[in-house]
Amino acid sequence: MPVAVAAVVLLALLAPLCKQCAAQKREVYSCRELREALADGGVRHIVAMQAGNFNCSADDLPADVPLKLVGREVLLEGQGPGLVYFDYNMVKGMHVLVSDGGGLTVRNVWLDHCLANDVLALCICSVLEGGWIDLVDARLSDIACVNARRSPAIQEVENRMRYTLGARARIGKDLDARTMLIKDSGWLSGGTHDSKWRFSNLTLTCTGNTTHPLPDARNARAPEYRIAESKGFLLEAPLGKGHFGRVYRGRKRTSGQLVAIKVIDLLPSQRSQVLAAYRECQLLSSVQHDNIVRVFTFYTAKVQRTQRLVEVIPDRSEYVEVGYQVPPQAGSSGGGAAASGSSGQQQGSNGSGFSLGSQQRARGSGGSGATGTPPQGSSGPGSNASSSISDKMEGVQSIQVQLVTQYCDMGTLEQAVKGGVFIDAVTGHRRIRHILLTALEIAAGLEYLHHSDRRMVHRDLSATNILLTTSADDDRGFRALLSDFGLSTVLSADQTHKTSQVKGTVRRAEQAAAARHTQRASFFTSYMSPELFVRDDVSPALDVYSLGIILHMMYTGQDPYQGKSPAMIILAKVREEARLPQLEGCPEAYQQLVWDCTHYERRSRPTAADLVRRLENLLMK
C-alpha cells in the first residue's frame, strides 16, 4: 500500500479518537464556565486559562445546588507558567460533591480563601463516601490569618495528617511565618467512610492583609462593623469621608455583592440632624434611575455604653466597649438575636461583647424603599416630645444610620478629571464626545429629579459626588451616577424654597477656610450659584448652575475659580455682568451651554430637560 494512502487511512481511523479527546478536554476562562465544565459528564480534563478571571461569587458557584461528581475522574489544571489564581472569598459552602468512585485532581492552581475555620474542607468540593481528591503543585490560602501556626484551618490539615500518619509523623515545613509546605502527605483518611485526600507539593498560606484586608482587631469591635454584620453586610475598607459621614466598601454576605455603606453617627441631642440623615435615606430609596446611585437598604441603631472596660492602652485614654441595638427593618417584627460573643445578654448589662438585646418593634428603622416614620429618639417638625425622647435616649451614646448603596468602582468624576480621562493620551486632544456623554448622563439624572412627579433638587452637586462605575458596553468604559443627597430638597408648588441650611453650607466653607483648608472650601464654593449668596433661593436652577461648573471643569481639567479664596469667589459671582472665561478651542455650542448654565439670573438658565435635548443634538453632529 502506498505511504500516502496508508497515512490517509490512519488519519481516518484516528479522527474519532481525536474528536473524543477534544470533547473530554475543555478550556475555561471564568468560574461560571468552570461550573459548566464540571457539570458536563463528558469532560475529563479542565484547563483554567491564565487569561481568565476567576474571582468567584455565590452566583457563579451556588452551594445550594451542588454538582455531583460520581463515577467520574476529573483533572482541574491551571495553564502554566505559574499558578492560576482563584478567589473563593465570596463563595459560600461546597459547590461540588465527590463520591462513589468520583475523583478530582487539582493541579497548578492557587485557591484563595479555600480553607474552612475548623474542619478539613475545601472551597471547591466536599469529599464524601467513596470519593477522593488529590492536590498537586497547588496553593491553598486562609484569608483570616497572618501566621500559619495560628490558623485553625491550617492546623486542622495538620491534625488530619497526624490522625492518619501518627502523632510523630513529619507534617510540613515552615517556609516563613505565613507559609507551610507539604511535600507528600500520602493518602489520608477523609471525614467519611472510604473517602481519601492527598497533598503533593502543596503550599498552605495566610493571606490576611495581602490579597484581602484583615480588619484591625480594634476597628472590628467598633459599632459599625457589628451593626453591618447583624444586617448581613461586611465592612471591608474605608473609601472616604463626606459632609455627613464616612463611607466603606462592603459586601453582602449571602451573595458577595460589592456595596458602598455610608455610616452617619449623631448625638441623641441632634434631633434635626437625625431627621436629615433619615430623610436622605427615604429620598434615595424612592429614586430609581440609571444615572443615580441605587439604594439597597438602610437601617438605624442606638449605640450604648456598657460598664465593662475591655482594653487599656498606655498613655492613651481608656477604650470602653460599646453595645448597640439594631431595630428590626420596617415591616418585620421582633427583636434582634444576640451578637457573637454576647451570649444573649440584655442591652445595658455589664457583660462583655456587643448585644442585640430583646426589644419592641422600633419605628422608622428603615429598610429597602422604606417610607416609615423617623427613628426613635427623633421627632418631626412641630412635635413636642422632648421628655419622651430623653427617656428613650437615656444611656445612648449615639445614633448610627447606615445607608447601603450601589458600589461605584471607578471613584469620583473629580478624580477622573484630574487623572486625564477626557484627554487622549496619544494626541493630547480633548475627548469631546466622552465629555458630552458624561454631561448627558448627569443632565439625565437631574431631569429625573426635577420632574414634576418628584420636584427634587440635589443642592450639593459637584464633581466629588458624581461617581463612576465600570461599563463594558460604553466607549469610555464607565457610566456616571449622581450620589450624596444629604442636602436634597423636595420643593413646594412655587418652585422655590428658602432655607437656612444653605447658609450653613456657606458657613461650612468659611469655617474650612478659617481652619486653613481654603483650597477645599473654595472647591465647594465654586459650585454654588449666585442666588444662594443673595436670596437663599433654592430651585432646580441651582443644580443646573453646578452642572455648568462641571462642564467647564471636564473641558479644562480644573476648577474655573482655582486659586481664589471663598470670599473672592462669592464677590465674583454676585456681580451680575460676570461670567466664566471663554474656553480655548471649544466648540461654540458647548461654550454657549456652559455660559447658559452659569447665567447670573436663574430664570435664564435652561432646565435639565432642555440640557438633555441640547446635549443629544451636540452628540449627533
Strand partners, 325: 302
Beta-strand relationship, 109-112 and 139-142: parallel
Q: Is 10 a domain residue?
A: no
pLDDT at 10: 56
Q: Could you tell me the sign of the dihedral formed by the alpha carbons of 592, 597, 598, 599, in that order?
A: positive
Q: Among 449, 538, 446, which Cα is nearest to 492's?
A: 538
Same-domain pairing of 445 and 316 = no
Beta strands in 285-420 (DSSP E): 295-311, 319-325, 396-406
The whole-angstrom separation of Cα 178 and Cα 150 is: 9
Q: Are 466 and 442 in contact (CB under 8 A)?
A: yes
Q: Let me know if residue 9 belongs to a domain.
A: no
Is residue 151, in this structure, part of any structural domain at all?
yes
Contacts of 189 (CB under 8 A, 6+ apart): 160, 163, 164, 195, 196, 197
Residue 458 domain flag: yes
State the residue range of the domain holding 559.
Answer: 413-620
Work out the mean pLDDT of the chain and round it to a whole number. 74
User: What one-character DSSP code corresponds to residue 169?
Assistant: S
- pLDDT-derived band at 349 (thresholds 50, 70, 90) equals very low
Query: What pLDDT, on the 0 to 100 scale, is given for residue 94?
Result: 61
Establish whether the linkage from the previous residue to 2 is cis, with ω within 30° of 0.
no
- Are residues 388 and 418 part of one domain? no
pLDDT band at 411 (very low <50, low <70, confident <90, very high): confident
| pLDDT at residue number 368 | 39
Classify residue 16: in a domain, yes or no. no
Rounded to 5 degrees, what are φ and ψ at 125?
-160, 165
> How far is it, in rounded angstroms, from Cα 566 to Cα 562?
10
Averaged pLDDT, 377-387: 39
**448, part of any domain:** yes
Examine residue 1 and state whether it is found in any structural domain, yes or no: no
Residues 174-226 have pLDDT tens digits of: 888 889 999 988 888 766 667 888 899 999 998 877 777 665 544 555 788 88
Give the three cell numbers for residue 553.
Answer: 471643569
The domain boundary residue, chosen from 351, 380, 406: 406
Could you tell me if 98 and 241 lie in one domain?
Answer: no
- Average pLDDT for 354-358: 27
Average pLDDT over residues 499-517: 40
**Residue 182, H or E segment:** strand 179-189
460 with 596, same domain?
yes
Average pLDDT of span 524-530: 82
- Which residue positions form the known binding site for ATP? 262
Q: Quick one: angle between helices 540-556 and 608-620, nearest 10?
A: 30
At 244, which CATH number? 3.30.200.20
Element (H, E) at 620: helix 608-620
Residues 207/143, Cβ–Cβ less than 8 Å: yes
Provide the phi-psi class of 535: left if phi over 0, else alpha when psi is between -120 and 50, else beta.
alpha
Query: Could you tell me if residue 422 is inside a domain?
Result: yes
Whether residues 37 and 95 share a domain: the answer is yes
Do 568 and 434 belong together in one domain? yes
The verdict on 283 and 300 lying in the same domain is: yes
Number of separate domains in the chain: 3
Q: Residues at the annotated binding site? A: 262
Question: What region does 366 belong to: left with phi over 0, alpha with psi -120 to 50, or beta?
Answer: left
Q: Are residues 398 and 421 in the same domain?
A: no
- The residue whose grid cell reads 444586617 is 231
For residues 368 and 336, membership in a common domain is answered with yes
Digit-coded pLDDT (tens) for 15-50: 554 544 555 899 999 988 999 999 999 999 999 998
Q: Report residue 555's pLDDT band, with 50, 70 and 90 as the boundaries.
A: very high
Determine what percent of the chain is predicted with pLDDT higher than 70.
68
In this structure, are 458 and 573 located in the same domain? yes
Distance between CA atoms of 56 and 50, rounded to whole angstroms?
A: 15
User: Distance between terminal CA atoms of the chain?
Assistant: 72
Q: How far apart are CA 248 and CA 553, in angstroms?
A: 27
> What span, in angstroms and rounded, lies between the C-alpha atoms of 357 and 445?
42
Kindly state whether residues 402 and 551 are assigned to the same domain. no
Tell me which of 143, 174, 206 is where a domain ends: 206
Integer Cα distance of 440 and 461 in angstroms:
15
Residue ending a domain, choose from 388, 406, 424? 406
The CA-atom distances, in angstroms, between 313 and each of 76, 318, 344 are 50, 6, 28
Q: Counting beta carbons within 10 angstroms of the beta carbon of residue 484, is it exposed (0 to 12), middle (13 to 18) or buried (19 or more)? A: buried
Reported as a single tens digit per residue, the pLDDT across 443-460 is 999 999 999 888 888 888
d(CA 616, CA 610): 10
